[in-house]
Amino acid sequence: MERRIWNRIRQELGLWSQAAPPGIMVLVVVILIRITGGMQSLEWMLLDTMLRLRPVEKVDERVVIVGIDEEDIEWVGQYPVPDEKIAQLLTKLETYQPLAIGLDIFKNVPVQPGGEKLTQVLQKNTNIIGIEKILPPGETPPPRSLPPEQVGFVDLPNDGDSKNRRYLLYTANPSNPDNINEDKYSLALRLTIKYFKAAGIDLETGKKDQNTIRFREIELPRITKNFGGYVNVDDGGLSIVMNFRNNSQPFHIVSLQDIFNGKVDGKLLRDRIVLVGNRNMSTGDIFYTSALPNLKLSGQIYGIEYHAHVISQILSTVIENRPMLHSWGDIEEYIWIFLWGFLPIVIGRITQSVWKNILSVGVTGFCLFSCGYVMLWVWGIWIPVAPSLLILALNGVGLSAFAFYQHDKFLRSQINERQNTIQNTFTIIHNGPLQTLAYGLQHMRTQDIPYEELIRQFEKLNREIREIGEFLKVEALTKEESLRLGSGLILELNRPLHDLLYEVYSSTLERQDFENFQTLKVKIRNFEPIDDKYLTKECKRGICLFLEEALCNVGKHAQGVKRVQASGVYIGNIYKLSVKDNGLGIKSKLENKGTKNSKILAKQLRGEFRRESLSPRGTICELSWTLMK
């Protein structure tokens, strides 16, 4: 038992050593591609897909957008909208007592009329945050009337596919990076700080990560050099990954005209963060994302809405524990990739079937995607799904499954070949030496023949066994397809089948070791030619052995036989090969080895086998199969 277990283990290790290396090579190559950044686009695409598939979220009442659209520009009659109108808008908004107002319009150059009036409004109201652009190219300074603490930058980094998934919260002053007192804050962060300040919550340095910030005990997870699907990303300053609010209209949006015409309920703006900016195509303040469904502009989002999503994201995280997107460390990520990458190799070993393998890989891929989706939605963890899916596809449907399948097929063919060799050897011995031995033993018991005759029989037995041994040696060393009959005759299986059947018939009936053949008076044979191009040599071997076995059974069991008829005839497209005799019928219903082999042969030919008694006496043994066209 123990030896069998160890043999099984050695066999399994041998199989893995032959079939697993291609799959492991794929796993290593995909990991190397990811390390060099070659998987980023695919990982970004899957991140956007999973964000887009999240359940719809409710409108965030804490953020309101006052968007200047095309109708507003037409109503004003001037573009850019003059400072006078902007000043009036801000003055009107202040009457509703919002916590903070973000003016997402560049005001470094006055747009007359009303430049002085706008300056007065900005200086008077400390809850208004203006904007600047600090990163090249095209830096734009803030309004001169605003102090640094009332200015936020609006630079948005984009990824290699031109999509915007990151938001820079603060960074060192590009013009004076060594002075930490001149760090630059983004528009969203400035507005968020004012909102929390009103609630008694201060901005503090992170505890677990000294390079990030926190409100109360909530630290904002920053983008590091290798974060989620990013590789060697710029980690200067503090950036976060966007976790957009999933709603076709996540914030209340009102127009310039709505404010001036008094169509806005004051409760909508009171104690809120109000963002004022352009929502028209003329300004070019448009960014790109695939993470939001049902965008009015396909794949595009206005800059003012982008900033609103960031504000909502931070507020929801601190107040409602809505997760911000973060990731595992490099070690955890690559362990995850390795485990899911090794799984299809195991599946390829277990299934051993193309369709089962495809189904298993499909179910596994769905589970992998679902796991990534749930981790992202519930806990905000961006795990590496794309490389694992790629390895799963390549290994599960391709290399590993094919390698295991081919190797297993090879092993099975070797086993089948051995079994066929054993079976053929047994048949040769059964129809030859064993018959001689049975004949000699029978007459030893009855002592009805001379001693010298018994000696000759056993000498014949010795000769037959040696001849079989020599035949098997020659057959194993040559590519010649041949068959040795119990009579000692060797047939070449590349000859036409009906010629082989004639040889089998004649050679078998001439054997002297079957006493029932001595009583035969009538011998009939008729084998119609058959197109055997659709028959393999193994099938031809089996058919010849079937005929020999049927004739030997007549010689052994058909006592008193006078007549035997062997025929192979067409009936429609069915070929029937049969042996009939008029001897003593079947005495036992037990299946012998020959009957079992005949049934196996019939199954291989997709035909039928029957052996039954005839009336009033006799037996028929018949094999029939349909000729393939």
Q: Where are the domains of the chain?
A: 2-36+328-404, 53-320, 480-626
pLDDT value, residue 569: 93
pLDDT value, residue 220: 96
Q: Does 478 have pLDDT greater than 80?
A: no
| Rounded-to-integer distance, Cα 269 and Cα 288, Å | 28
Burial class (CB in 10 A: 0-12, 13-18, 19+), 352: middle
Confidence of residue 214 (pLDDT cuts 50, 70, 90): very high
Contact yes or no for 358/303 (Cβ under 8 A) = no
| Rounded-to-integer distance, Cα 623 and Cα 388, Å | 54
- Taking each helix axis from N to C end, the angle separating 330-351 and 354-374, rounded to the nearest 10 degrees, works out to 160
Beta strands in 145-302 (DSSP E): 151-153, 166-171, 184-185, 203-205, 213-215, 218-219, 238-241, 252-255, 273-278, 286-288, 300-302
Buried/exposed code over 519-545 (b: 16+ C-beta within 10 A; e: otherwise): ebeeeeeebeebebeebeebbbbbbbb
Q: Does 55 have pLDDT greater than 90?
A: yes
The long-range contacts involving 1-5, CB below 8 angstroms and separated by at least 24 positions, are: none
Cβ-proximal residues to 230 (8 Å cutoff; 6+ apart), any chain: 40, 223
Confidence of residue 618 (pLDDT cuts 50, 70, 90): very high
pLDDT tens, residue by residue, 388-407: 999 888 776 655 555 555 55
DSSP, residue by residue, 185-209: EBHHHHHHHHHHHHTT--EEE-SS-
Residues 1-23 have a mean pLDDT of 66
In the Cβ-directed half-sphere of 607, how many Cα atoms lie within 13 Å? 22
Residue 324 gets which letter from DSSP? P
Cβ-proximal residues to 108 (8 Å cutoff; 6+ apart), any chain: 132, 140, 141, 142, 143, 144
Q: Does 481 have pLDDT greater than 80?
A: no
| Rounded-to-integer distance, Cα 23 and Cα 11, Å | 19
| CA dist 139 → 102, 108, 142 (Å) | 19, 11, 10
pLDDT tens, residue by residue, 137-164: 878 999 998 999 999 999 999 999 999 9
Residue ranges of the alpha helices (H) in 36-114? 40-52, 70-76, 83-94
Residue ranges of the alpha helices (H) in 375-450? 386-391, 399-431, 433-446
Of 608, 589, 588, the C-alpha closest to 598 is: 608
Residue with tokens 């600047």: 132
Contact yes or no for 30/341 (Cβ under 8 A) = yes
Classify 516 in phi/psi space as left (phi over 0), alpha (psi -120 to 50) or beta: alpha
| CA dist 144 → 132, 162, 304, 411, 489 (Å) | 11, 32, 22, 82, 113
| Rounded-to-integer distance, Cα 158 and Cα 329, Å | 23
pLDDT value, residue 162: 92
**Over the Cα atoms of the chain, what is R_g?**
45
Contact yes or no for 255/261 (Cβ under 8 A) = no
| Rounded-to-integer distance, Cα 411 and Cα 405, Å | 10
Beta strands in 11-71 (DSSP E): 63-68
Residues 225-250 have a mean pLDDT of 92
Instruction: Determine what percent of the chain is predicted with pLDDT higher than 70.
Output: 83
Contact yes or no for 519/560 (Cβ under 8 A) = yes
Q: Which has the minimum average pLDDT: 34-38, 40-44, 109-113, 233-237?
A: 233-237
Q: Tell me the pLDDT of the chain averaged across its residues.
A: 85
Contact yes or no for 576/530 (Cβ under 8 A) = no
CA angle 105, 107, 109 (to 5 degrees): 140
Q: Does 470 have pLDDT greater than 90?
A: no
pLDDT tens, residue by residue, 322-377: 999 999 999 999 999 998 888 877 777 677 666 777 788 889 899 999 999 999 99
pLDDT value, residue 412: 62
Instruction: Tell me, yes or no, if the pTM score tops 0.75.
Output: no
Homologous superfamily of domain range 480-626: Histidine kinase-like ATPase, C-terminal domain (3.30.565.10)
Cβ-proximal residues to 196 (8 Å cutoff; 6+ apart), any chain: 202, 203, 215, 318
pLDDT tens, residue by residue, 579-605: 999 998 777 777 777 788 888 889 988
pLDDT value, residue 468: 63
